Amino acid sequence: MDIHEYQAKELLAGYGIPVPVGGLAYSPEQASYRAREIGGDRWVVKAQIHSGGRGEAGGVRICSSETEIQEAASDMLGRRLVTRQTDSRGKLVGRLYVEEATDIAQELYLGIVLDRASERIMLVASSAGGMEIEEIAVEEPDSLLRISIDPAAGLLEYQARELAFGLGLDSRLVNKLVKILMASYRAFRDLDATMVEINPLVVTGSDDLVALDAKMSFDDNALFRRPQISELRDRSQEDPRESAAADRGLAYVGLEGDIGCMINGAGLAMATMDMIKLAGGAPANFLDIGGGASPERVLKAFRVVLGDANVKVMLVNIFAGINRCDWVAEGVVQAFQKLDVQMPVIVRLSGTNVDEGRRIIAQSGLPIITAETLAEAAEKAVAARPTAEKAA
């Protein structure tokens, strides 16, 4: 689960990390009021969306008067901001964060992430702040410093100190950075985060360190024990298809194709999407119904996939181990009966109780297209698309 910049800053400030003074606004008038509360003569108005690259897309404005603040707020609020990290639909701007402008002398990058390859928490830092980490890796690879954190010991002060010196900071800033690094790690650990990113972490003209921007992501599976984090969820920033699937315990990722997929197992799902592309089609989603899927769970999955207006064909590909083909077949039949399915549905079953599953499909009398292999199923799904378009 992702949260907004202002929410991440509030959490990090609670761990002692310095952040600029700011306030939340939902209207142009409220934005100008926040500026008066903050004081000063320069402010930054930031669109609050779950995406990087806001500045390039016009989602960050530096303002020198209340009139400029209101104009910036009017331009942003209610707009769908398209950045290099969003899809073509962009993200809806429903709230703004107004904060004091900061005198920037140097920008640093700081990130703490879960490195699944090494099964460790990885601390990454760079003297090339203000850029996305992918850009830093390409354009400034020598600036990247990494520290692998032992989960039993946690981040140790000597490691943080080595990294601070490695960034070439003035000795007066080393202790300040060490405190920020240690606090960031505690926030990561205590809140079940999967990412803490401060970019940029700036050195100010008065030799202070300030988190100018911040991102945090959290482990969905741990939200049950972090109600204070779960309450920060903003569904307006999520794909409604993915939200609906998550509420039903389904692993779903929305894509932009027109062939809906219902598959068991992440590996098989990836292979199925590749096969659809190879056959000349485009998948509309990644959906893993998991092991032991009951007919009721299959019906829920159908509802989620068919809720996407772009879907013209449905492909069900099941290789049953823990799952049972007869359960899946019963779920497919129920979907036709209860959801009034009008589009072509291709079903490929293999594995546990496959003969019973195929019998249920065959005797249902429904216009379900069957396939023996994954390649055949993908080809039939792609071939069925014109039929769907004509029916529409």
387 is in an annotated binding site: no
Q: Of 5, 6, 197, 379, which residue is the catalytic one? A: 197
54 is in an annotated binding site: yes
For residue 58, count CB atoms less than 10 angstroms from its CB and return exposed for 0-12, middle for 13-18, buried for 19 or more.
middle
Beta bridge partners of 361: none
Residue 227 DSSP SS3? helix
215 is in an annotated binding site: no
DSSP string, 69-110: HHHHHHHHTT-EE--TTS-TT-EE---EEEEE---EEEEEEE
End-to-end Cα separation, the chain, in angstroms: 36
99 is in an annotated binding site: yes
Residue 386, preceding peptide bond in cis (omega within 30° of 0): no
Token pair 């300030």 in the structure block, residue: 210
Answer yes or no: are the C-beta atoms of 66 and 36 closer than 8 Å: yes
292 is in an annotated binding site: no
d(CA 271, CA 49): 32
What is the per-residue burial (b if ≥16 Cβ within 10 Å, else e) of 5-25? bbbbbbbbeebebbbbebbbb
Return the C-alpha torsion angle 149, 153, 157, 158, nearest 10. Answer: -70
Beta strands in the chain (DSSP E): 22-25, 43-47, 60-63, 80-81, 91-92, 96-100, 104-115, 120-126, 145-149, 193-204, 209-211, 214-218, 251-254, 259-263, 285-288, 313-320, 345-351, 368-371
Q: Of 6, 15, 97, 109, which residue is the catalytic one? A: 109
162 is in an annotated binding site: no
DSSP string, 163-200: HHHHTT--HHHHHHHHHHHHHHHHHHHHTTEEEEEEEE
Answer yes or no: are the C-beta atoms of 106 and 202 closer than 8 Å: yes
53 is in an annotated binding site: yes
Give the single-character DSSP code of 279: T
102 is in an annotated binding site: yes
Give the single-character DSSP code of 131: S
Give the single-character DSSP code of 320: E
323 is in an annotated binding site: no
CA 97 vs. chain centroid, Å, equals 21
Amino acid type, 116: R
Active site residue 109: yes
d(CA 315, CA 303): 14
380 is in an annotated binding site: no
Query: Which parts are annotated binding residues?
Result: 46, 53-55, 99, 102, 107, 199, 213, 264
Query: Which parts are annotated binding residues for ATP?
Result: 46, 53-55, 99, 102, 107
Q: Which residues are catalytic?
A: 109, 197
Query: Which parts are annotated binding residues for Mg(2+)?
Result: 199, 213
Query: Which parts are annotated binding residues for substrate?
Result: 264
